[in-house]
Amino acid sequence: MGLYITQSLHRPMSDAGLVISLFGIGAFLGSAAGGKLTDMFGFRPIQILASIIGGSLFLAFSQVEHFSTLCILSFFISFFHDAFRPANFAAIAAYATPGLETRAYSLNRLATNIGFSFGITMGGLIASINYVLLFIVDGVVGILVGLSIFLLLPKVKGYRKAVKEKLVGIYVPKPWKDMLFIKFLLLTTIFTTCFFLMFRVVPVFFKEEWHINEATIGLILGVNGLVIALLEMIMISKLENKRSPVFYIVTGVIIVASSFAVLMVPKFLPVIVGLFSVVCFTLGEMFSIPFINTFVIKRSNEFNRGQYAAGYMMCWSVAQIVAPLAGFYIAENYSYNALFIGTSLMLFACAYGYSALNFKEENTA
């Protein structure tokens, strides 16, 4: 998006920043709306409509060059794109066999990582041919996703009717009144903000400070998706239900903290050190995120799962906005080492925070 605004439309960097910021704001609000709508209408129609409308807006985006219109479209594209996420989160819980939720979310992460790796490769190839074609392909794929869910994903028979019947005379707690969940979200926002630094700021560090070329940086970061695709499902199948989720979350956050600490070593074999850092990061990610997902789903129920999922997705939306802004500011005004020291300390504190939460507190959902 940033390259399209600056290279194809020849707008200044500040305009690209505005469009990307609006994309982030749309994502935040879309997550909130998607969760509420999922609880009201069910996960299936929200996934279908969000995909088709988002894809249609991408097609419109490809035909517009007026900057103000692009800003508006950018906001609504991300709004519908992220409204899909809470619905998808709730769908996995509905389709998963009880007791295997963590594996189900890991399988979904596997699909996401394969799609991300393939998509980013195809995106680069298509953009090298024509930026407009890139948005057309995005739009068509989005519409096809919605149609595929409609045609191929089975309905959970009687799901909405059963929920409505159970709701009669029942008070359903809201996630923002669940203090344990609020504390969990604050810690998760810190974690995800640090998490995004690896993909937003560290590649620039590799280029500017360690002088690694772009192709090699891409290969180093690509190891993340490859390792997750090869190992996460196997690892989760061995770990699930063996220890409490908080044990794996804390372990994962500590490993992620260590991956940033590795980047503070004096410049020596930068490609090897960078690769080691990304492998550590990936291992920490595989320990933490699947069990964070499990906590969210088990903290909620069929009446409020969409809103709980929305709260969780909003952590990621906030992180996507804050991480690059804060990360580049600290690196530019202080140093990369200051950024990595601060990030490691925040993650160690975050791990302690997770361990201090009373995860055995009675579920208020």
How far apart, in whole angstroms, are the C-alpha atoms of residue 307 and residue 66? 36
Between these two residues, 96 and 191, which has the higher pLDDT value?
191
| 51, two tokens | 């995909």
* Same domain assignment for residues 271 and 122: no
* Same domain assignment for residues 127 and 193: no
For residue 209, what is the DSSP state?
A: T
pLDDT of residue 171: 55
* Same domain assignment for residues 92 and 209: no
What would the mean pLDDT of 317-328 be, rounded to a whole number?
84
pTM assigned to the model: 0.75
pLDDT of residue 75: 92
How far apart, in whole angstroms, are the C-alpha atoms of residue 173 and residue 171? 6
Compute the Cα dihedral for 146, 147, 152, 155 and give only its sign: positive
* Same domain assignment for residues 149 and 199: no
Best-predicted range by mean pLDDT (77-81, 136-140, 342-346): 342-346
Q: Does residue 86 contact residue 31 with C-beta atoms inside 8 Å?
A: yes
Q: Does residue 188 contact residue 312 with C-beta atoms inside 8 Å?
A: yes
What pLDDT band is residue 354 in, cutting at 50, 70 and 90?
Answer: very high
How far apart, in whole angstroms, are the C-alpha atoms of residue 137 and residue 361? 47
pLDDT of residue 364: 47
> Is the model's pLDDT at 328 over the cut of 50?
yes
How far apart, in whole angstroms, are the C-alpha atoms of residue 340 and residue 263? 7
* Same domain assignment for residues 116 and 251: no
Domain closes at, from 148, 170, 192: 170
A 10 A CB-CB count for 342 gives 16
What pLDDT band is residue 252 in, cutting at 50, 70 and 90?
Answer: very high
The label of the residue with tokens 């640090």 reads 194
User: Which residues constitute the domain of residue 190?
Assistant: 175-365
CATH number of residue 348's parent domain: 1.20.1250.20
Q: Give the tens place of pLDDT for each residue, 159-171.
A: 555 555 555 555 5
* Same domain assignment for residues 207 and 330: yes
Q: How many domains does the chain have?
A: 2
Best-predicted range by mean pLDDT (148-152, 201-205, 241-245): 148-152
Domain closes at, from 112, 144, 170: 170
For residue 265, what is the DSSP state?
A: S
* Same domain assignment for residues 273 and 153: no
C-alpha to C-alpha distances, 82 to 30, 121, 202, 244, nearest whole angstrom: 5, 22, 25, 30
For residue 166, what is the DSSP state?
A: H
> Is the model's pLDDT at 120 over the cut of 80?
no
| 14, two tokens | 């500040």
* Same domain assignment for residues 68 and 109: yes
How far apart, in whole angstroms, are the C-alpha atoms of residue 62 and residue 55? 11
Strands (E), the chain: none
* Same domain assignment for residues 191 and 311: yes
How far apart, in whole angstroms, are the C-alpha atoms of residue 319 and residue 38? 23
> Of 110, 109, 112, 132, whose CA–CA distance to 120 is shortest?
112
* Same domain assignment for residues 164 and 195: no
Span of 45-49, 157-161, 185-189 with lowest mean pLDDT: 157-161
| 237, two tokens | 């199948």
